[in-house]
Amino acid sequence: MIASSLLPSRFRGEQPNNAPAPPSKLNQRVTPALQFVSKITCLHPIHTIVLVALIASTTYIGIVKESLLDVSRSANKAD
């Protein structure tokens, strides 16, 4: 086993200095929106948890209600 493989690449010696690619147009549009949402969620964590729970429970109830109605329709056709 070579000892240099145990070290992270940044400690193995000089690395080629590659300049990072400029951000894409999509990245420039999405990043500020995500940063805004992140800031709001960090400032109001309880509100965020309640909102996510409310959306999840509403979605779950909608799915369950829809699937229960489908079961009753198929039971009527069996008769």
Question: Does pTM top 0.75 for this prediction?
Answer: no
Sorting pLDDT into bands at 50, 70 and 90, what band is 4? low
Task: Inform me whether the pLDDT recorded for 75 exceeds 60.
Answer: no
- Residues in CB range of 4: below 8 A, 6 or more apart: 12
CB atoms within 10 A of CB 48: 14
Token pair 């420039």: residue: 28
> What integer pLDDT is reported at residue 79 of this predicted model?
53
Q: Buried b vs exposed e over 51-66: b needs ≥16 C-beta within 10 Å? A: eeeeeeeeeeeeeeee
Distance of CA 8 to the CA centre of its chain: 29
> What integer pLDDT is reported at residue 70 of this predicted model?
63
- Domain residue spans of the chain: 44-72
> How do residues 5-63 score in pLDDT, each as one tens digit?
777 777 777 666 777 788 899 999 999 999 999 999 999 999 999 999 999 999 999 88
